């Protein structure tokens, strides 16, 4: 028996491209290198890809289709659809030969397929769903994910952690050297439910950033102690969560600081870019010297003793505390400052041995941004 699915390659390509990002180059099960394709009502196609930990199902529209479910090797199918540059395609599924014949205006190609019954499915069901703006999740992940750790010995930190509180939603990421915390105060959560927090691994975090880049609608989501699901009219993503208890992030954020500097973001970043290359490539140490002798400001200093290189640059800022010299990893400091919104940021300090706290100078009605960076021993 032969079943037929007709579609435009341009209609199918976005769904295939996004789904393919889930698939690993090496898989424990060969079928995890396939797309699982299912025809549902109104000629709609569901395209699923998985690595055994994350499942992403994208929707696409066929022009004509008979009900079918099958698995096709992802890399080959994606190459074929990409190279056909928007042509109309007729996919004929031959059960007797176990092949699909992809026909287009002046040619055709054949690919083998596997039975969809062999494709692994996630074991999770949810009855209650929450709603959230897609842009809110996109911002929560996008502004925290660069600080995620990648240490196999501390896997609990290898993801963005979400905490749903009565006074807002917190997203946080840390690699133990820097930490980013975003608290959105517009989304509150009842404490009556058992599960109020989860840690989303790096891979599904990056997938969501791709999926939500141009999405302004709402998402539905649900989670338990093992899995989380995000879905809307275009996709459904199910991901296994990071196991283990996330560190108490509030405990590592200094509660009281004695020195505060309000600094122009662009001028500081420009100076940091000038100075950092002259420092040690191994440590990336920069020293910040805050003073008020003539004009209040900060001198950014870097040096590489081994290669006899050094640089420094002065940046004016609002600072009225005692003089202090404190060292940070320049690359991490640059990331954290770039991640702030507005024209100015605030760096709060206490002693050269305590973490620096970076916040935004301009208050926001929807969220509170806080990041910390651990100090380094200054030798300049």
pLDDT of residue 192: 56
pLDDT of residue 348: 96
Residue 146 gets which letter from DSSP?
G
pLDDT of residue 173: 96
CATH, range 130-249: 3.10.150.10
CATH, range 253-373: 3.10.150.10
What SS3 class is residue 268? helix
pLDDT truncated to tens, each residue of the chain (380 aa)?
788 999 998 989 999 999 999 999 888 899 999 999 999 988 999 999 999 999 999 999 999 988 999 999 999 999 999 998 888 999 999 988 899 999 998 899 999 999 999 899 988 888 888 888 899 999 999 999 999 988 887 889 999 999 988 888 999 999 999 999 999 988 766 555 555 899 999 999 999 999 998 777 899 999 998 999 999 999 999 999 999 999 999 999 998 899 999 999 999 999 999 999 999 999 999 999 998 877 789 999 999 988 999 999 999 999 988 899 999 999 999 999 999 999 999 999 999 999 999 999 998 888 899 999 999 998 65
The domain 2-118 is classified under which CATH number: 3.10.50.40, 3.20.20.140, 3.10.150.10, 3.40.605.10? 3.10.150.10
pLDDT of residue 194: 53
For residue 35, how far is the Cα from the chain centroid? 23
Q: Please give the C-alpha separations between residue 358 and each of 10, 339, 355, in angstroms, as whole numbers.
A: 45, 10, 10
Residues 357/347, Cβ–Cβ less than 8 Å:
yes
Rounded to whole angstroms, the Cα distance separating 149 from 247 reads 12
Residues 221/231, Cβ–Cβ less than 8 Å:
yes
DSSP per position, 161-185: EEEEETTEEEEEEE-SSEEEEEEES
Residues 218/229, Cβ–Cβ less than 8 Å:
no
Within 10 angstroms of residue 255's Cβ, the number of other Cβ atoms is 7
Annotated domain spans of the chain: 2-118, 130-249, 253-373
pLDDT of residue 190: 59
The model carries a pTM of 0.89
pLDDT of residue 150: 86
pLDDT of residue 186: 82
What residues have CB less than 8 Å from 64, skipping those under 6 apart?
4, 5, 6, 43
């Amino acid at each position: 028996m032969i079943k037929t699915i007709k579609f435009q390659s341009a209609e199918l390509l976005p769904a295939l491209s996004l789904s393919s990002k889930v698939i690993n180059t090496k898989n424990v099960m060969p079928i995890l290198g396939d797309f699982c394709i299912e025809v549902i009502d109104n000629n709609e196609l569901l395209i699923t890809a998985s690595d055994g930990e994350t499942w992403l199902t994208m929707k696409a529209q066929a022009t004509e289709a008979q009900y079918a479910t099958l698995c096709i090797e992802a890399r080959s199918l994606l190459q074929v659809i990409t190279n056909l540059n928007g042509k109309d395609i007729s996919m004929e599924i031959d059960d007797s030969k176990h092949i699909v014949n992809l026909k287009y205006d002046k040619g055709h190609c054949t690919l083998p397929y596997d039975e969809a019954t062999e494709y692994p499915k996630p074991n999770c069901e949810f009855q209650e769903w929450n709603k959230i703006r897609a842009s809110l999740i996109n911002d929560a992940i996008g502004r925290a994910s660069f600080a995620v750790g990648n240490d196999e010995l501390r896997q609990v930190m290898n993801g963005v952690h979400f905490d749903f509180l009565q006074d807002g939603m917190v997203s946080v990421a840390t690699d133990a050297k820097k930490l980013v915390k975003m608290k959105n105060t517009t989304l509150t959560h009842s404490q009556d439910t058992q599960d109020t927090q989860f840690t989303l691994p790096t891979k599904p975090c990056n997938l969501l950033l791709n999926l939500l880049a141009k999405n302004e609608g709402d998402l539905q989501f649900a989670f338990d102690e093992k899995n989380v699901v995000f879905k809307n009219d275009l996709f459904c993503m199910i991901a296994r969560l990071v196991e283990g208890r996330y560190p108490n992030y509030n405990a590592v954020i200094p509660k009281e600081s004695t020195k505060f500097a309000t600094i122009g973001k662009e001028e500081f970043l420009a100076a940091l870019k000038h100075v950092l290359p002259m420092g040690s490539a191994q440590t990336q140490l920069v020293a910040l010297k805050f003073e008020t002798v003539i004009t209040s400001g900060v001198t950014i200093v870097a040096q590489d003793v081994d290669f006899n290189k050094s640089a420094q640059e002065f940046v004016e800022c609002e600072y009225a505390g005692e003089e202090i010299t404190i060292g940070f990893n320049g690359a991490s400091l640059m990331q954290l400052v770039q991640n702030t919104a507005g024209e100015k940021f605030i760096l709060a300090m206490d002693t050269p041995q305590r973490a620096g706290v970076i916040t935004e100078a301009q208050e926001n009605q929807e969220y509170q941004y806080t990041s910390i960076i651990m100090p380094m021993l200054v030798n300049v």
